[in-house]
Structure 1
Amino acid sequence: MNPDCRNDCVEPLVFPKRPNNRPGLSHIDYRIGSYSDFRETLLRNLNHEAVLEAWTHRDADDPGIALLEGASILGDILTFYQDLYANEAFLRTAQWRESVADLVRLLGYRLSPGLGGKATFAFEVKNDKPVVVPAGFPLQAQVEGLEQAADFETVEETTAYPSLSKFYLYRPTYIPDLSGEISVFSIKTSEFEAAGVEINAKDRLMLLDTVSEATNNAQIFIVKEIEQEFDRTNITIEGIWDKGGGLSEVIAYKLGRTFRHFGHNAPRQIVKIDSDDSVSQLDITYNRKLHSSTTTTGNTTITPSFTSREIPLDIEVESLLIGNMLIIEGVSVHESAIVRIIRSFRSGSMAWGSLSGATTFVGIDDDMDDLRFGHTHDVTDIRNLSIHETVGLSLTLKQARQIDPAADGLSLYYFGDSVSYKQLNDRGIAFQKEDGIFLEMVVSTEDKELSDDEEKLRPIFLSSPLAGDFTLGDFPLIDPNVTVYGNLVEATQGKIEKEAVLGNGDSRQQFQTFKLPKAPLTYHNSPGETPPEVPELQIYVNDHLWTRVASFFNVEPQDEIYIVREDANGDSWVQFGDGKTGARLPSGIRNLVAIYRTGTGAYGALKEETTVQAKGKLDRLDKIQLPGVASGGSEPETGGNARQAAPGKIQSLDRLVSLKDFESETLAIPGVLKAAAAWELVDNVPAIVLTVLMETGRGQEIDEVREILNDYNKCRGPQRFPIIVHQGHLQYVHIDAVFALDATFREEPVRKAIKEALGVTGEEGDSVDGSAGLFGLGQRWFGENEYATRIAGTMQNVQGVVWAKVTALGSLGEADDPAELMLPAEPKPLQDRVSCISEPTQHILSLYGAHLYLSVSKAESADVC
């Protein structure tokens, strides 16, 4: 402790200062002094020299004083770097990735290299023949986050079919029975051609429930609208059909001309001159016989006579199609219709009562009788008869397709031919909405054989039900907004480089080491490996493939193995054994050859206004799409993550025993930001439950993390209990606060310091580093609450803040993109505490820059005494 020097005593100078740092500091003070300490020490020593008592000038214009100040500057620079290097010598305080890498290497921990991304591409091919996409086919895509285009290569050979390049799927529907009032019917479109019929608006249709006998359920409609829907055509009629309830279908005929029976408009009476020349008026009959010939009666002249299977029309027609149907209405006393086949027709003249004229006799296949209800009619009134000519054959109408309310989201419908339908079986497809939301899954088809004439709208079955961003409502029958890609090809990042000769083997040398010509070497995760990052590298020695291992530990002297390591510059080095731990290289000239791929970090969506480019030739290739995002790519592990994960790794000794071991191993997986392990009972079974927070936008990689951790448990863990991995989420909060600014401070630096103290995210581009702040990920834990008082206290601890007050605080929920979250309306609520939402152990509170509103109040200066 320094003595009290308020009474004009000279404070003793502590120089050189001895390092005195307590444990656990994030930065240590290792400087023996700064420029002012050096200068003060030199000047005090100058004052103590009796020989130099006369030298009293201390300004820099004196060459001697300038020399001393120059020496002080040099000392300040040297001690600055001394302090910097001292901090880089300890794991907790080191900031440079190179320093952290060197330190954790002493613990047996290696920083993870950068990983190559992977993506699912959709190939669109032309014409009608399939195209084989070979394994290793090169692609190039400009992905968000990378300055240069990323190179990809397909993983395996795939057959691309033109019909599956891009198509649509539809929600399940069904065709109900005819009931109620119906104005829209549907028919298989193929029936029109088979029946020789073309239906257009304004056409007339006769609808009947049967043609085998007379029926009362017959009605003529005018076609209002025609619309094709897949393999069926919807026919909208003017008016409604409300007959024949419970039927599954009705029969329809397109009507041509409509005729009446000859004589229907004959005068009701005839004038008769008797033998005595008297004149009388007699009523005529309008009845015709149904089962025998109709001839002249006592009061009515009907000539010529015609049979029960002939119908004289009220006009003469030039042609009728033999074999076509006639629909005859009004035969019986009931409102009925019967259908008969035209067998013949002939022209002639006829008289009915006092009416005579030209006619056409139409021969039909059967009598016009109505045998329903147990009645037999011998005659019918010709005035009630309407004879309709039909065009083509009959049509079978059903009700239009309706949405199936019982659909469970496990099936959709595909419209296409049977060949394309079969090609979908056990095939991966991708859904993409107009806004870019993407979903990939495997589908299967029905086993039964169906010809294209039977059905073209067929069900496909999804490997998992639609959920989340995709619902059945996204697959309407009209104007679908989800594009489906069926020619999916998996590809991984990495450009295959030219075969490289690394050098000459020398059996006299131990641990020969060679550098790969190009960097960065591509790595991909392989769940069965430890560590999981596996390089895309093959080493041939004398044309013989050697095996890569993770380390030289526990290998035999004759084993043909090598290891791969990265240096601080990102270059990759290949090292061979010493004859004891792995075989030495055999001597030879240029006998060491490397085949490898380069490129890492591909992650994100395709850049706007760019397209995927094929770097090889492929016949009939039209386009290549990237419907989703590239995932899995990452930059090399940061020093901060290694600083946190390495101590746990050395404690575990490469075994998984404690919860901390599982957390440390999880943190070492690329893309993982936070991990928490806990013992829990899941369905009454003890299990280790790991909550894993992935980097923003990497949620789809959680399955790969699960696979890696389960392999770790199998290979290095006790295997006594299952490992269950839950995905963690960020829960965003909103804060409004006011602070008083010290009048001696500038506002902008203080605002920046407040944001960093609070741990704001999303403003890294403005040099705001909130990683160590209150809401920084390094400071928070799953399920941890936050309080308005602590937020205000954190702000008040910022230099330049006189006082602070929180005026609004609340939760906004979780989101992949926090910019999409909406702030509450004014006045915003103020909660004393913000808690994590449902499943609190899977959420971490976070503060996005746009959700923080700071207002400033000038602090009043203290009164001068």
Structure 2
Amino acid sequence: MNDDTLPGCHCCEGQQPRPAIYNAPGLPALAWRIDTQPGFNQRMLAELPLWRDPATGSAAPRPLAALTTREASDATLALVDAAACVADVLSFYQERIANEGFLRTATERRSVLELARAVGYELRPGVAAGVHLVFTVEDAPGAPGVCTIAAASPIQSVPPQGKLPQVFETTDELLARAEWNALRPRLTRPADMALLDISGGANPLVLRLVLLLPQGSVPANTDGLHQGLASGDLYRLDPGLPVDATVDALEVARVYLGADANTIQAGELLLFVGKNGGKLRQLVLRATEVKEEKALQRVRIALEPLPDPVQPAAPPQLQWYLPVGMLSVGKYAQAQVENVSFTSGNIATTFGGKAWQESELQAMLAIQGWSGQQLVQAISASLQPPAQPVAPEAGAFSFGARLGFFGHNAPQWNSLPASNTKGGAAYYPKNWDGTNPGIWTDSQGGTIAPHHAYLERPLPGLAPGGWMVFDAPGAKASTYVLYDAREAARADYGLSGRAMGLRIAGSDGKPLASAPTEGFTFRDTTAHVASRRQPLVELPIDAPVAAGSQHVELSAMVLGLARGRPLAFVGPRSDIPGVDAAEIVLLDDVVHANGRSTLVLKGNKGLQFSYLREGLRIHANVVAATHGESVQEVLGSGDASRPFQQFTLRRPPTTHLSAANSSGAQSTLALRVNGLLWNERPSLYGAGPDEHVFATRIDNEARMTLLFGDGRQGARLPTGQLNLRASYRTGMGADGEVAAGSLTMPRAMPLGLRGVSNPLPAGGAQDPEKLEDARRNAPLTLLTFERVVSLSDYQDFARAFPGIGKARADLVSVAGAPRVLVSVLGATGGAPGAELLDNLRQAITDQSDPSQHFALAAAALRHFRCTAALVIDPQYTADAVLADGSTRLLQAYGFEARDLAQPVTAAAVLALLQQVPGVVAVQLTVLQPYGAATGGDTAQQVLPAFGARWDAATGAMQPAELLLLNPAAVQLLEAKP
């Protein structure tokens, strides 16, 4: 029969069989509808001719069989159509209800919340961000210098554009002091310089200017290093400084003099005089470069290099060292019980050359009743150089005048009249231009007693005992001590005039009986006189405060720093110019020696960054703070006649803080009933009838409700008038991760406080648990049973821990022994904070096998770049298609969508872009790790992301990697077909 002959009612076509409802496992949604409106309508129309009244039996007639019309305007068909619509709606909601009954397919937060409660899991309420605050105390004259910051002091942030201010509160009370505002590392070391004789007893002497260092403090392969020298072999420029029995000596090519040395110019001579017992040694060096450093009140002078062995052209960086007699000895002084008076002698005896731990020093001050501030002042004053040098004849000297000797400007001998040069009565029979007499004789080679030499002109102010250096192009510079200098009339070399007669002293301080023998000629010799002793200022320590340092010596002595106090290291990094860094470390101990304090840092890793010593600031007025504002609230009145009373807090969300327990968080809620504290429990199940406990529930709007017992499971609330009072904090989540330097507004300004700031951004926050996270985390309660045994247990436990967004556990072989490395990232995408990592580490330790060693580390973030050309359908707007493609790429390869150690393939990128509406074809031109030098733009087929592994090159375990698309390195272009 042809279709054209069928009636319009389609009754002869028959009914299609209902498809069986089947759902494959693992689907994100269930198909539960038995039919839709068209299907319901068709089936009901097909049943109309077959309907009969049930009360009349099977042989009764079918009254609707005669209804053959199928026009939509018919009233009966309209009623059927309406009924089909009702059935469609009912089946739709039946399917939705079925989906909400399973954890994987539920879309409502309330559904997930109730399903999770069925297995004893509560959706994570989120955790508040944490940060460390640095307080600055007013140190102006007259200020108290001390400020007490109470616990729970509120600090408000300065929000960026479009954001709201956030309030943080300090966790503990802080006693801040002005001297702890910004401690500085030791910037200089004593200029303990000496002259070293390297001639080995040969003649003439060969001297070098060296810097004395503790033995072994400089690498053995350093140029110009002389190791293991006895102090008796050295001629020190300042014999008053203490020295070890055996030292190393490093040749130097520059010195630092006081600010008064700014008159020295390049090319002038400097004299260095060293002393060893009664012996003196002198070394003359020429200044090649003079630079005044006004800010540091010193002058840097570069010295000429000396021949064989070659002196370094520039001094090497001085690596820092532990002061001898302090930490390297391991033996510390102890507090004295007997009475010791506060005198300079007792201070020198008690503290000179001794190392004190902070605890012992505080005990000493308490026992003796000494003032810590006065002790620091006395020790600092004792370290200042004396007003007069210990040995005035030793040190570094410059010269105030340079003169020639009498006769250097004499006319040529041949130019004199014959009567003066020939004949018996000639004054100058010897040709001084031929004989070239020395400065120690007259023009004819005769003596010039009682003086040894004559300067060309009088020079007032030449003091006896001063140093002189005579220098000539053809002779080695020689050093002399002036015994006497007198103005005298002099006639020689065809000249006459006033000159300055010099008498030179010997080593015994008496004038020489005869003139020296050095061959200085009268015309080309220069006398450097009017010596001035230049103090050697302390040398700068060029080496940075290196990463991994566990001991940092300060520039001064600082008392009162307690063990366990957080310290903020803030300053420019030495490895990346122009980049500042900050970190928080805990203080393990403080050791005082030689008038300075050394900070001993807790942990075995030391500092994370390497800092330029000059710019580093160490803040000790540091206290931890967490996001959230305190609230005091009267909940209502208890009624002993009512079981299971409930009260809801008025200001959601209630702040939860990260904690080292199995749940990973603890509430800030504290409830008192009639002034007595009641305790919170996860559930009232198992609670005794007299236990003052309550349970909490958090609804979909983050409101917290308090549940009380019925007298069988937990005590009932006692009857009273407004006798329930709650204290809690409100505010948490990702909004609390404020930027560094934004927490600067204290709600109250205590006396003596100047300011506050946060050197590091706040971190460790997490918003209330999302549906996708809840689906994954809720079953973990049944998988781990609050114990960590298998490799997957480590990963599941860390992933469900509040504040953690990504986690992966890998088994790494370290020296043949298996180690579990858990790589984690914070919920907001960055590295977790130190406090969050410590809490997670402690929580895993409490739940795991103590024999299984594990490590916890922040995962490594890596990025890749992508460029593609899209052929776009002309019916679509090209810009909209390109924007849609970029959005899809960023979503698919963003933090939320990626897992640790998940690679990126070119095939997946192509498939994703091909699904964008309007895209006809895709050509992937660039797919590379961001910043990788691959020799050109190429599209790699696979970009690997590695799990945790052992790196033999560095000798350390490397965490797992998270490979993300760099938002600034994605480029989609339109290509013509």
SS of the residue corresponding to residue 106 of structure 2 reads coil
Aligned equivalent of 2:733, options 588, 601, 612: 601
SS of the residue corresponding to residue 707 of structure 2 reads strand
Q: Distance in 1 between matches of 2:473 and 2:820?
A: 84
Counterparts in 2 of 1:121 and 1:110: CA distance versus 1, 3 Å = same
Conserved in 2, the CA contact under 8 Å of 1:706 and 1:725?
Answer: no
Structure-2 residue corresponding to 1:829 = 939
Q: Distance in 2 between matches of 1:425 and 1:242?
A: 54
Task: Say whether 1:320 aligns with 2:495.
Answer: no
Task: Say whether 1:137 aligns with 2:153.
Answer: yes
Structure-2 residue corresponding to 1:816 = none
Report the aligned-residue RMSD: 5.6
Aligned equivalent of 1:721, options 844, 852, 872: 852
Structure-1 residue corresponding to 2:352 = none
Which deviates more from structure 2 when the two are superposed, residues 695-704 or residues 94-103?
A: 695-704
Letter in 2 for 1:116: A
Counterparts in 2 of 1:649 and 1:503: CA distance versus 1, 3 Å = same
Displacement after TM superposition at 1:419 (Å): 4.2
Counterparts in 2 of 1:640 and 1:749: CA distance versus 1, 3 Å = farther
SS of the residue corresponding to residue 699 of structure 1 reads coil
Structure-2 residue corresponding to 1:202 = 265
Counterparts in 2 of 1:753 and 1:231: CA distance versus 1, 3 Å = closer
SS of the residue corresponding to residue 518 of structure 1 reads coil
Letter in 2 for 1:257: A
Displacement after TM superposition at 1:116 (Å): 0.9
Structure-2 residue corresponding to 1:36 = 38
SS of the residue corresponding to residue 612 of structure 1 reads strand
Counterparts in 2 of 1:73 and 1:718: CA distance versus 1, 3 Å = same
Displacement after TM superposition at 1:740 (Å): 7.9
Displacement after TM superposition at 1:187 (Å): 2.1
1:354-365 aligned at under 5 Å gives the runs 355-359=495-499
Q: Distance in 2 between matches of 1:42 and 1:358?
A: 141
Task: Say whether 1:812 aligns with 2:929.
Answer: yes
Q: Distance in 2 between matches of 1:333 and 1:585?
A: 108
Conserved in 2, the CA contact under 8 Å of 1:676 and 1:690?
Answer: yes
Q: Distance in 2 between matches of 1:283 and 1:503?
A: 127
Structure-2 residue corresponding to 1:568 = 700
Aligned equivalent of 1:762, options 890, 907, 917: 890
Task: Say whether 1:524 aligns with 2:668.
Answer: no
Aligned equivalent of 2:567, options 405, 428, 446: 428
Counterparts in 2 of 1:749 and 1:375: CA distance versus 1, 3 Å = closer
Conserved in 2, the CA contact under 8 Å of 1:691 and 1:728?
Answer: yes
Letter in 2 for 1:516: L
Letter in 2 for 1:762: L
Structure-2 residue corresponding to 1:862 = none
Aligned equivalent of 2:634, options 496, 501, 520: 501
The C-alpha deviation readout for 1:792-828, integer Å capped at 9, x for no partner, is 66777x5979987774575526xxxxxxx67978652
Structure-1 residue corresponding to 2:136 = 124
How many positions carry a matched residue from both structures? Answer: 799
Aligned equivalent of 1:329, options 470, 490, 496: 470
Counterparts in 2 of 1:47 and 1:835: CA distance versus 1, 3 Å = same
Displacement after TM superposition at 1:29 (Å): 2.3
Task: Say whether 1:235 aligns with 2:301.
Answer: yes
Displacement after TM superposition at 1:114 (Å): 1.9
Task: Say whether 1:257 aligns with 2:409.
Answer: no
Which deviates more from structure 2 when the two are superposed, residues 88-97 or residues 699-708?
A: 699-708
Aligned equivalent of 2:670, options 538, 541, 551: 538
Displacement after TM superposition at 1:327 (Å): 0.9
Displacement after TM superposition at 1:91 (Å): 1.6
Structure-1 residue corresponding to 2:170 = 154
Task: Say whether 1:842 aligns with 2:977.
Answer: no
Structure-1 residue corresponding to 2:230 = none
Counterparts in 2 of 1:245 and 1:670: CA distance versus 1, 3 Å = same
Displacement after TM superposition at 1:520 (Å): 0.8
Conserved in 2, the CA contact under 8 Å of 1:123 and 1:487?
Answer: yes
The C-alpha deviation readout for 1:533-561, integer Å capped at 9, x for no partner, is 11112112222223333333444433332
Aligned equivalent of 1:108, options 94, 111, 120: 120
SS of the residue corresponding to residue 82 of structure 1 reads helix
Displacement after TM superposition at 1:572 (Å): 1.1
Displacement after TM superposition at 1:106 (Å): 0.9
Displacement after TM superposition at 1:851 (Å): 6.2
Letter in 1 for 2:470: E
Structure-2 residue corresponding to 1:492 = 626
Displacement after TM superposition at 1:672 (Å): 3.0
1:276-291 aligned at under 5 Å gives the runs 279-283=425-429
Counterparts in 2 of 1:12 and 1:678: CA distance versus 1, 3 Å = farther
Structure-2 residue corresponding to 1:86 = 98
Counterparts in 2 of 1:278 and 1:522: CA distance versus 1, 3 Å = closer
Structure-1 residue corresponding to 2:292 = 226
Conserved in 1, the CA contact under 8 Å of 2:687 and 2:714?
Answer: yes
The C-alpha deviation readout for 1:646-669, integer Å capped at 9, x for no partner, is 223135444445555444433321
Q: Distance in 1 between matches of 2:265 and 2:760?
A: 48
The C-alpha deviation readout for 1:362-397, integer Å capped at 9, x for no partner, is 67765999999x997599976676543325324459
Counterparts in 2 of 1:146 and 1:354: CA distance versus 1, 3 Å = closer
Displacement after TM superposition at 1:607 (Å): 5.3
Q: Distance in 1 between matches of 2:690 and 2:152?
A: 33
Letter in 1 for 2:481: R
SS of the residue corresponding to residue 649 of structure 1 reads helix
Conserved in 1, the CA contact under 8 Å of 2:649 and 2:703?
Answer: yes
Q: Distance in 2 between matches of 1:273 and 1:838?
A: 105
SS of the residue corresponding to residue 588 of structure 1 reads coil
Structure-1 residue corresponding to 2:720 = 588
Letter in 2 for 1:650: L
Counterparts in 2 of 1:839 and 1:805: CA distance versus 1, 3 Å = farther
- Structure 2 gaps, min length 5: 51-61, 194-207, 211-222, 225-250, 316-392, 573-577, 950-958
- TM-score scaled by structure 1? 0.74
Conserved in 1, the CA contact under 8 Å of 2:644 and 2:710?
Answer: yes
Q: Distance in 2 between matches of 1:332 and 1:847?
A: 71
Conserved in 1, the CA contact under 8 Å of 2:156 and 2:166?
Answer: yes
Conserved in 1, the CA contact under 8 Å of 2:466 and 2:482?
Answer: yes
Task: Say whether 1:388 aligns with 2:520.
Answer: no
The C-alpha deviation readout for 1:425-476, integer Å capped at 9, x for no partner, is 9752233656665433346898453359xxx9x99879666888x44xx627
Conserved in 2, the CA contact under 8 Å of 1:173 and 1:403?
Answer: no
Conserved in 2, the CA contact under 8 Å of 1:168 and 1:484?
Answer: yes
Q: Distance in 2 between matches of 1:287 and 1:754?
A: 96
Structure-2 residue corresponding to 1:863 = none
- Structure 1 gaps, min length 5: 764-769, 814-820, 860-865
Counterparts in 2 of 1:647 and 1:188: CA distance versus 1, 3 Å = same
Task: Say whether 1:26 aligns with 2:28.
Answer: yes
SS of the residue corresponding to residue 120 of structure 1 reads strand
Displacement after TM superposition at 1:87 (Å): 1.4
Displacement after TM superposition at 1:420 (Å): 8.9
Counterparts in 2 of 1:746 and 1:53: CA distance versus 1, 3 Å = farther
Which deviates more from structure 2 when the two are superposed, residues 778-787 or residues 536-545?
A: 778-787
Counterparts in 2 of 1:111 and 1:386: CA distance versus 1, 3 Å = same
Conserved in 2, the CA contact under 8 Å of 1:171 and 1:413?
Answer: no
SS of the residue corresponding to residue 100 of structure 1 reads helix
Structure-2 residue corresponding to 1:185 = 254
Structure-1 residue corresponding to 2:390 = none
Which deviates more from structure 2 when the two are superposed, residues 86-95 or residues 654-663?
A: 654-663
Q: Distance in 1 between matches of 2:904 and 2:288?
A: 70
Counterparts in 2 of 1:163 and 1:391: CA distance versus 1, 3 Å = farther
SS of the residue corresponding to residue 105 of structure 1 reads helix
Aligned equivalent of 1:510, options 633, 638, 643: 643
Percent identity for Structure 1 against Structure 2: 21
Counterparts in 2 of 1:690 and 1:417: CA distance versus 1, 3 Å = closer
Q: Distance in 2 between matches of 1:342 and 1:523?
A: 84
Q: Distance in 1 between matches of 2:820 and 2:755?
A: 46
Q: Distance in 1 between matches of 2:704 and 2:824?
A: 30
Conserved in 1, the CA contact under 8 Å of 2:662 and 2:843?
Answer: no
Displacement after TM superposition at 1:568 (Å): 2.0
